[in-house]
A and B are shown apart, each in its own frame.
Chain A
């Protein structure tokens, strides 16, 4: 048996990558979902004539997402990487099924799919240099070369642009979640890491990943609630009429507060980096959400798919993450990398 496999079997399966804070946070998410489920039931009792199916489905799907993400994070980092690669695959598949493609490019799409395992493997083994250039340089140049070899020039620019945008958004961006997971803190880091558990300084990434996903999804919900309650002035009327300035500002405020409360306790962040990270997640999450809205509006569809009952498709759920993940990662890499 190879040495790395032995290390994996003896190390990770003893849950050394998990801190108490991560477990408490995941339990907190479960508790929040229990409360949400109860609230939906209560609302159904109070207003029996109104249709609550959409909300009920939405909460139920949240349960499924939370279970899958929670299990993937808890069991082992390798399982997290495989799970997140699969999410990327679903997102890319949904994107390719949604956009106009050329019949001639079928095999080029196949190559684009093959980039997923490679990119996630690079992130998992933390080969940082190659992880950063594989899609933006090598795939960026290889896919057009493969398109050229087919010889169909009509619609060439649109074909290579849509292909590369999809790969950057659905694979490169999202794969930063795994890079976050395998992040190592060198002695020379710009900001001194503030370890929550002085005895457990091996894997800061698990807590950072949980924080990123939690803050991104929390920001989505917070922007929605603030917007519904106080919103009047529209933030992006032509792209997404539902988004309001009040929603955006309220979302940024709530997310920064949660980041400051949670960040220093859960992760290596101090309160200043947590606040800035929270603000970056709130703003970039807003843009990511709008970027998928713009895509759907351009194509004339309401939902990107039907994989997640109550939410729409996979893209409707990972939209914010496509922006928050690389932004949050590179901010952390600047401070702690």
Chain B
């Protein structure tokens, strides 16, 4: 039942809004992974980021694609929790790992075992719109455990203007989606995070971004 609702929500609400109200300009879409297991890493500016990224995989692969999202934020309120997990299809992740006894990345690893395409925001939070923060180390831990899984960086621009943090009104803007070459585990955590950061900087420089302050 929930799967049907999710399908209908994406077909009847999300896709029309994304295609008509926003409009996507996708560069190198052919670099996106065709099948799971795979990880998409993207910069994070808006709640719409995950939703727009899910639509890139079409309706046929919808059941395979899940964004990883903060459990402390999205599971707080039962209604938002139901909507996030059942309709958007998030995979909850515990961000505060200090003193945790269980493996915080277990959920992600299980998802990859199920051949899912996971969407991750290594900045950790949306932060200031259209400004990139330092990447967290979590992605490196996953890359180390599953070096066989492709990690594809995607740079997004425009959604932070369309619906930034703390705003309730969606204002139409075209969205740029620049897909980069996949990154591979380098054997060293800091090196890996640094190479991912460089990849994002290259993608962001390729993108024309008018002043917005």
Interfacial residues, chain A to chain B (CB-CB below 8 A)? 89-90, 93-94, 96-103, 106-107, 109-110, 113, 299, 301, 305-307
Contact = CB atoms under 8 A, between A and B. Distances in A.
A103 B25 contact: no
B210 A99 contact: yes
A110 B171 contact: yes
Given A93-B174, A106-B167, A110-B171, A98 B210 contact: yes
Given A97-B158, A97-B174, A301-B208, 11 more contacts: A89-B172, A100-B210, A101-B212, A106-B161, A106-B167, A106-B171, A107-B169, A107-B171, A113-B171, A305-B174, A306-B25
B211 interface: yes
B171 A102 contact: no
A93 B173 contact: yes
Nearest to B25: A306
Nearest to B158: A97
Interface in B177-213: 208, 210-213
8 contacts: A94-B174, A101-B210, A103-B164, A106-B161, A106-B167, A107-B171, A113-B172, A307-B23
Contacts of A307: 23, 25
A101 B174 CA distance: 14
Contact of A109 (B25, B171, B208): B171
Contacts, number: 48
Using C-beta atoms within 8 Å of the partner chain, give the interface range for chain B: 10 to 19
Given A93-B23, A305-B25, A306-B25, A103 B212 contact: yes
Contacts of B171: 106-107, 109-110, 113
Contacts of B67: none
Interface of B: 23, 25, 129, 158, 161, 164, 167, 169, 171-174, 208, 210-213
Contacts of A100: 210-212
Contacts of A110: 169, 171
Nearest to A110: B171
Contacts of A103: 129, 161, 164, 212-213
A90 B23 contact: yes
Nearest to B173: A97
A90 B174 CA distance: 9
Given A106-B161, A305-B25, A96 B213 contact: no
A301 B210 CA distance: 10
Contacts of B129: 103
Nearest to A102: B213
Contacts of B161: 101, 103, 106
A101 B164 CA distance: 14
B173 to A, nearest CB: 5
Contacts of A106: 161, 164, 167, 169, 171
Contacts of B164: 103, 106
Nearest to B157: A97
A94 B208 CA distance: 13
A90 to B, nearest CB: 7
Contacts of B23: 90, 93, 307
A307 B174 CA distance: 10
A171 to B, nearest CB: 14
A247 to B, nearest CB: 28
A99 B209 CA distance: 9
Nearest to A109: B171
Nearest to A86: B20
A226 B72 CA distance: 65
Contacts of B211: 100-101
A299 B169 contact: no
Q: Which 6 A-B pairs have the closest CB atoms?
A: A100-B211, A97-B174, A100-B210, A306-B25, A93-B172, A97-B173
